């Protein structure tokens, strides 16, 4: 199949030009002015932005919890992703303690088979035992080179510093990358129990039991352990200004350190926990929402390149599930949706307010996730030879986000009522039209299971930054 996109404004992480783009057999075949091609389909993109398909590096689909599975499985979550311009997701493999990591990985691959977007996984060691090093090595040999650790949730998936050191040492030796949920789990548990014992159990105390200093101290600890083990580190869902200070300091020293934030931490604040039940339940997530000064710091860090990516931590629940904890915040399933709205929120509240350039938007939305997680230049780029994952973005359409018309199966939204500008006019995935005029193609094939490029053959993970603090973000 061949598609010719004419007269679009092509935006990459380093460029901005009006040009034509030709897609042939699922790949970008040519970019230039007034291309001559007998394409099967021609699209006039005048007045539109042409962007690489988004990569969301942080989603949780079909996640089991005591309140039931999260509202979106891989089919419905991937539909929401496509409608918002995201063509690739990175989900998680989280074994239960005592379970083989490889067994859990294979089961998760099966669960994701009906995804309509391409997908890959971060794998979580939830304990350290004699089998863990060999299992990590087998994951890497299978093409899964990023490993998620939790410093919170010590009673289920969290690990202590000794186990974390061993994981980082092993992953570094084998050529992988560790991603880290940074909160001091033991301190959170103590403070949580303190509030609960006094009968202070509204959602406000979820926020108060997970203060920003617990995140920042955990970030510092993870950075120090990564430096000791020479392990590349990616810190997920950064929410606190104090955390950003530790990240910048480590990056300036040359440590290979990457950071992610999420739209909820850029746009919402902790005052929402003061609302009444059930509204306040929507915002129970970890880390919790922070203050306005934290939001300002996150926007600046993203614009300056200290935060490289924006993931959504998409893990929505229905109101009935959230209401399980209406009398006790400890029982509220943590998480919220957002995979559909990442691009529209960043464009509206980042680009149109002057906080982000269009190229920086593309960088955090697509290019840096591809580079950091070994998918570049096939993904996250508009270049000859790259996979034809392409968003044609209408920058003029105005919408209002609502759970009544979003594509997630959740019946609530943390962005309810948000006014946005811009929408996906047309989405091409792997060279085929996937979304057009707000409708999903009825003939779209399932997505593909991806593999990280071998970390041993990439320089991106291992070359420390130069003394100016800027990244070497070349081809990986």
Domain map (residue ranges) of the chain: 54-381
The span from the CA of 164 to the CA of 127, in Å, is: 9
Domain at 54-381, CATH from 3.90.850.10, 1.10.3720.10, 3.40.50.1000, 3.20.20.140: 3.20.20.140
Which 3 state secondary structure label does DSSP give 87?
A: strand
User: pTM score, two decimals?
Assistant: 0.95
Biggest CA–CA distance in the chain, Å, is 73
Q: Report which of residues 186 and 453 the model is more confident about.
A: 186
Whether 212 shows a pLDDT value over 70: the answer reads yes
Q: Is the peptide bond before 377 cis (omega within 30 degrees of 0)?
A: yes
pLDDT at res. 1: 87
pLDDT tens for each residue of 45-89 = 999 999 999 999 999 999 999 999 999 999 999 999 999 999 999
Q: Model confidence at 455, in pLDDT bands (50, 70, 90)?
A: low
pLDDT at res. 303: 98
pLDDT at res. 453: 78
pLDDT tens for each residue of 94-138 = 999 999 999 999 999 999 999 999 999 999 999 999 999 999 999
Q: Where are the alpha helices (DSSP H) in 142-257?
A: 161-174, 185-197, 203-208, 212-229, 241-252
Whether 466 shows a pLDDT value over 50: the answer reads no
Whether 458 shows a pLDDT value over 80: the answer reads no
pLDDT tens for each residue of 261-305 = 999 999 999 999 999 999 999 999 999 999 999 999 999 999 999
Whether 473 shows a pLDDT value over 90: the answer reads no
Whether 431 shows a pLDDT value over 80: the answer reads yes
Q: Model confidence at 416, in pLDDT bands (50, 70, 90)?
A: very high
The span from the CA of 173 to the CA of 193, in Å, is: 39
Whether 422 shows a pLDDT value over 60: the answer reads yes
The span from the CA of 448 to the CA of 432, in Å, is: 14
pLDDT at res. 39: 92
Instruction: Collect all residues with Cβ–Cβ distance below 8 Å to 47 and sequence separation of at least 6.
Output: 394, 395, 396
Mean pLDDT along residues 221-232: 98
pLDDT at res. 338: 98
The secondary element (H helix, E strand) that includes residue 20 is strand 16-24
Whether 457 shows a pLDDT value over 50: the answer reads no
Read off the tokens for 355: 């906080």
pLDDT at res. 428: 98
Mean pLDDT along residues 235-259: 98
pLDDT at res. 442: 84
pLDDT at res. 452: 86
Mean pLDDT of the chain: 95
For 150, other C-beta atoms within 10 Å of its C-beta total 22
The span from the CA of 138 to the CA of 100, in Å, is: 11
pLDDT tens for each residue of 137-194 = 999 999 999 999 999 999 999 999 999 999 999 999 999 999 999 999 999 999 999 9
């Amino acid at each position: 199949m061949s598609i010719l996109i004419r007269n679009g404004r092509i935006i990459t992480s380093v460029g901005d030009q009006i040009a034509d783009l030709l897609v042939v057999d699922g790949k970008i075949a040519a970019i230039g002015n007034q291309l001559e091609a007998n394409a099967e389909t021609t699209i006039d993109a005048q007045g539109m932005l042409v962007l690489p398909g988004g990569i969301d590096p942080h989603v949780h689909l079909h996640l089991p919890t005591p309140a039931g599975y999260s509202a979106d499985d891989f089919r419905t979550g991937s539909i929401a992703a496509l409608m918002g311009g995201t063509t690739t997701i990175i989900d998680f493999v989280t074994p239960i303690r005592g379970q083989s990591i490889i067994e859990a990985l294979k089961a998760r691959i099966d669960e994701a088979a009906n995804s309509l977007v391409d997908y890959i996984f971060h794998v979580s060691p939830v304990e350290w035992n004699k089998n863990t090093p060999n299992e990590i090595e087998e994951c890497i040999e299978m093409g899964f080179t990023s490993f998620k650790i939790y410093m919170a949730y010590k009673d289920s998936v969290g690990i202590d510093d000794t186990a974390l050191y061993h994981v980082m040492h092993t992953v570094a030796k084998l050529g992988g990358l560790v991603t880290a949920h940074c909160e001091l789990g033991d301190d959170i548990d103590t403070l949580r129990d303190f509030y609960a014992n006094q009968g202070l159990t509204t959602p406000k105390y979820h926020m108060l039991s997970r203060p920003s200093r617990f995140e920042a101290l955990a970030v510092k600890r993870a950075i120090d352990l990564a430096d000791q083990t020479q392990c590349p580190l990616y810190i997920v869902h950064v929410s606190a200004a104090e955390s950003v200070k530790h990240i910048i300091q480590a990056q300036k020293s040359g440590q290979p350190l990457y950071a992610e934030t999420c739209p909820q931490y850029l746009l919402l604040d902790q005052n929402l926990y003061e609302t009444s039940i059930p509204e306040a339940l929507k915002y129970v997530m970890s880390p919790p929402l922070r203050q306005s000064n934290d939001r300002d710091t996150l926007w600046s860090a993203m614009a300056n390149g200290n935060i490289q990516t924006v993931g959504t931590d998409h893990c929505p629940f229905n109101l009935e599930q959230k209401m399980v904890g209406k009398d006790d915040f400890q029982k509220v399933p943590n998480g919220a949706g957002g995979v559909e709205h990442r691009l529209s929120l960043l464009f509206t509240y980042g680009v149109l307010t002057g906080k982000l350039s269009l190229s920086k938007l593309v960088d955090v939305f697509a290019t840096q996730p591809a580079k950091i997680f070994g998918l570049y230049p096939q993904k996250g780029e508009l270049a000859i030879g790259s996979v034809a994952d392409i968003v044609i973005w209408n920058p003029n359409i105005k919408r209002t986000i609502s759970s009544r018309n979003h594509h997630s199966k959740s019946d609530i939204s943390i962005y309810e009522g948000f006014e946005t500008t811009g929408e996906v006019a047309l989405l091409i995935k792997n060279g085929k039209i996937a979304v057009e005029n707000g409708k999903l193609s009825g003939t779209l094939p399932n997505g593909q299971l991806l593999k990280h490029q071998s970390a041993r053959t990439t320089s991106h993970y291992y070359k420390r930054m130069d003394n100016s603090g800027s990244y070497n973000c070349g081809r990986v």
